Amino acid sequence: MSSHHFVKEQQEPALLILQTEGIDFEQIAPLLEWVPTIIVVQEEVFKVISWGIKVDLILADMAFQKSNYSLLEEQYPVKFLGVKDGLYLEEAIQYLIATKHSAVNLIGFDHKNVFTLHEKLPFLDITVIDGKMRFYPVKSGRLKKWFTESSIMLHAPEGTFVEKKTAEESSIIEVKYATMLDLHEGTLELSSNEIFWIGEFLTEK
Model confidence pLDDT, tens digit, residues 69-119: 999 999 999 999 999 999 999 999 999 999 999 999 999 999 999 999 999
pLDDT of residue 23 exceeding 90:
no
Q: Is residue 44 within 8 Å of 17, Cβ to Cβ?
A: yes
Range 173-201 average pLDDT: 93
Can you give the pLDDT at residue 22?
A: 83
pLDDT of residue 120: 94
- Across the strands, what pairs with 133? 130, 201
Count the Cβ atoms, other than its own, within 10 Å of residue 119.
9
Residue 203 has pLDDT above 80, yes or no: no
Write out pLDDT tens, residues 129-183.
998 899 999 999 999 999 999 999 999 999 999 999 998 889 999 998 779 999 9
pLDDT at 60: 97
Quote the CA–CA distance of 28 and 25 in Å, as a whole number. 5
pLDDT at 2 over 70: no
DSSP string, the chain: ---TTSPP-SSSPEEEES--TT--HHHHGGGGTT---EEEEGGGHHHHHHTT---SEEEE-HHHHHHTTTHHHHTTT-EEEE-STT-HHHHHHHHHHHTT--EEEEES--GGGGGGGGGGTTT-EEEEEETTEEEEEETTSEEEEEE-SEEEEEESSTT-EEEEE-SS-EEEEE--TTEEEEE-SEEEEEE-SS-EEEEEEPPP-
Q: What is the mean predicted confidence (pLDDT) over 13-33?
A: 90
Higher pLDDT pick, 31 / 57:
57
**114 close to 197: Cβ distance less than 8 angstroms:** yes
Looking at residue 9, what is its pLDDT? 55
Whole-model pTM: value is 0.88
